[in-house]
């Protein structure tokens, strides 16, 4: 797994070093920069709550400000507006990291809640600083989703407020973050190099808020389904920069083959992690070795697993203790996905003559003569273990199917 991170910006977190509340709301973030409509100093509305305020702004003035870090919607309210002297009418919208804006929320005079009065230091429209008398303090909590229509992955980095008419002129004392999830620039992670079983594949997920994607095959979705062995990579372009990650995926093909080793002994030609032999589609208790000595006429095969717990089913041998091997098919056949949730496909290198499906107790559920399809689709409605028998010119191949 190789990671490349090209950062084009840094996000400075501004969590409160000490616990602070306003009107009972915990303050966890705030504006770090703003533009006063009349060019005055911005300290009145940046930083955590204090006793400074902008008052008597001109109707139609617009404030733009930037939070100390980026935020994503979570449960409850995320934004807290603070005003002084007069409850005011605003048009508020949030600026997103993509450069776009949320929908506009109209704040009315009646929306505000009065809290403890304070002695305000305020900056008037002529930029004079004046010490004023104790007066009202108001707050208004708002939710990113409910009031601004934002989704769970949209990232907020700033705000815009248009001041509208009020009794004695609009004013503003602060804009704070009281909830949400702080969004930090983290690298895209496809996970460690891995091995998966044939027929299962692996979903590679590179989902990142407000991002665009480029995979090794030129596709541009947030995720990619890897169903072949190879190297996969993704390049994710975000507001924080370009992130690239690579992962090697190995698809384990477990294809056991059994032969007649002589002396009434069947042998799985390759070593595997575990073995389970079957006789006439029934488990043979204790038959868990690479070799198996036959005692009765009938059909035999073995299901094996490798060190990754990937399973494979061997060819089927029909044996007669007098005449030896009656049928032996070397046809390549696979069932995928396996395990599955009730829907799977049989794929074979040559056309089978007939296909049958049995449950774990040997009952035949389906028997089908094949016409001209090398891939057959099966719908198995109930969870359990099934066995699919495909009869070819040179014998029968059996595959175990697990439905979850």
Residue 68 CA to residue 180 CA, distance in Å, equals 14
Q: Is the pLDDT of residue 336 over 70?
A: yes
Instruction: Give the contacts of 131 (CB within 8 A, at least 6 positions apart).
Output: 119, 121
For 263: left if phi > 0, alpha if psi spans -120 to 50, otherwise beta; the answer is left
* Strand, helix or coil for residue 338: coil
Residue 241 CA to residue 6 CA, distance in Å, equals 6
Does domain 2-183 fall under CATH 2.60.120? My reply is yes
Tokens of 93: 């919208």
Instruction: Give the contacts of 187 (CB within 8 A, at least 6 positions apart).
Output: 3, 5, 243, 245
Cβ pair 333, 349 in contact under 8 A: yes
pLDDT band at 11 (very low <50, low <70, confident <90, very high): very low
Average pLDDT of the segment spanning 195-223: 88
HSE-CB for 333 with a 13 A CA cutoff: 28
Are 253-328 and 331-404 the same fold in CATH?
yes
Domain assignments of the chain as residue spans, ordered by start: 2-183, 195-251, 253-328, 331-404
Flag the least confident range among 140-149, 327-336, 344-353: 327-336
Cβ pair 131, 121 in contact under 8 A: yes
Q: Is the pLDDT of residue 328 over 60?
A: no
Cβ pair 392, 371 in contact under 8 A: no
Listed as own residue / partner, the contacts of 203-206 with beta carbons closer than 8 Å and 24 or more positions apart are: 204/232, 204/234, 204/247, 206/234, 206/236, 206/245
Per-range mean pLDDT, top range of 30-34, 168-172, 252-256, 269-273: 30-34
Q: Is the pLDDT of residue 9 over 70?
A: no
| Closest listed residue to residue 313, CA positions, set 285, 336, 294 | 336
pLDDT at 246: 94
Q: Is the pLDDT of residue 85 over 50?
A: yes
Q: Is the pLDDT of residue 375 over 80?
A: no
Average pLDDT of the segment spanning 286-304: 90
Average pLDDT of the segment spanning 132-156: 91
The CATH fold assigned to 253-328 is: Immunoglobulin-like (2.60.40)
Average pLDDT of the segment spanning 4-13: 36
Per-range mean pLDDT, top range of 55-59, 69-73, 235-239, 380-384: 69-73
CB-CB neighbours of 252 under 10 Å: 18
How many percent of the chain have pLDDT more than 70?
A: 88
Cβ pair 251, 308 in contact under 8 A: no
Q: Could you tell me how many helices (H) and strands (E) the chain has, helices first?
A: 1, 36
Higher-scoring residue by pLDDT: 383, 276: 276
Tokens of 45: 């509305």
| 86-125: pLDDT as tens digits | 788 999 999 998 889 999 999 998 999 999 888 898 887 7
Residue 88 CA to residue 364 CA, distance in Å, equals 77
Cβ pair 397, 315 in contact under 8 A: yes
pLDDT at 323: 52
Average pLDDT of the segment spanning 34-44: 85
Instruction: Give the contacts of 372 (CB within 8 A, at least 6 positions apart).
Output: 351
The rounded mean pLDDT for the chain is: 83
- Say which CATH architecture domain 331-404 belongs to: Sandwich (2.60)
Cβ pair 173, 84 in contact under 8 A: yes
Higher-scoring residue by pLDDT: 136, 147: 147
pLDDT band at 15 (very low <50, low <70, confident <90, very high): very low
pLDDT at 6: 41
Average pLDDT of the segment spanning 126-140: 86
Q: Is the pLDDT of residue 172 over 80?
A: yes
pTM of the model as a whole:
0.50
Cβ pair 206, 237 in contact under 8 A: no
Residue 205 CA to residue 208 CA, distance in Å, equals 9
Q: Is the pLDDT of residue 278 over 50?
A: yes
Average pLDDT of the segment spanning 1-8: 42
Q: Is the pLDDT of residue 8 over 50?
A: no
């Amino acid at each position: 797994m190789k990671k490349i991170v090209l950062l084009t910006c840094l996000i400075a977190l501004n969590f409160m070093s000490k616990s602070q509340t306003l009107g009972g709301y915990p303050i966890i973030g705030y504006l770090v920069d703003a533009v006063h409509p009349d060019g005055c100093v911005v300290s009145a509305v940046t930083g955590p709550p204090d006793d400074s305020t902008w008052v008597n702004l001109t109707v139609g003035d617009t404030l733009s400000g930037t939070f100390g870090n980026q935020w994503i919607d979570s449960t409850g309210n995320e934004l807290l507006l603070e005003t002084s002297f007069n409850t005011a009418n605003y048009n508020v919208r949030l600026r997103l990291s993509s450069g776009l804006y949320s929908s506009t929320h109209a704040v009315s005079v009646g929306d505000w809640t009065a809290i403890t009065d304070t002695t305000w230091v305020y900056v008037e429209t002529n930029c004079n600083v004046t010490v004023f008398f104790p007066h009202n303090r108001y707050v208004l909590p708002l939710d990113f989703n409910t009031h601004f229509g934002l989704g769970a992955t949209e990232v907020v980095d700033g705000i815009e407020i248009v001041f509208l008419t009020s009794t004695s002129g609009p004013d503003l004392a602060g804009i704070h973050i009281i909830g949400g999830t702080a969004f930090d620039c983290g690298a895209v992670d496809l996970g460690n190099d891995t091995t998966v079983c044939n027929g299962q594949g692996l979903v590679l997920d590179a989902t990142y808020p407000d991002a665009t994607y480029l995979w090794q095959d030129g596709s541009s979705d947030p995720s990619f389904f890897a169903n072949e062995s190879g190297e996969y990579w993704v390049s994710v372009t975000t507001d924080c920069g370009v992130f690239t990650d690579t992962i090697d995926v190995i698809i384990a093909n477990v294809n056991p083959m059994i032969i007649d080793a002589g002396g009434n002994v069947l042998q799985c030609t390759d070593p595997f992690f575990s073995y389970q032999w079957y006789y006439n589609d029934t488990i043979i208790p204790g038959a868990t070795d690479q070799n198996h000595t036959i005692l009765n006429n009938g059909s035999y095969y073995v299901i094996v697993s490798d060190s990754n717990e990937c399973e494979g089913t061997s060819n089927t041998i029909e044996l007669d203790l007098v005449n030896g091997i009656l049928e032996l098919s070397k046809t390549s056949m696979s069932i995928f996905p396996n395990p599955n949730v009730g829907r799977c496909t049989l794929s074979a290198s040559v056309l089978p003559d007939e296909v049958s499906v049995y449950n774990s107790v040997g009952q035949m559920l389906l028997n089908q003569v094949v016409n001209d399809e090398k891939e057959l689709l099966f719908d198995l409605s109930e969870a359990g273990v099934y066995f699919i028998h495909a009869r070819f010119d040179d014998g029968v191949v059996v595959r175990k199917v697990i439905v979850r």
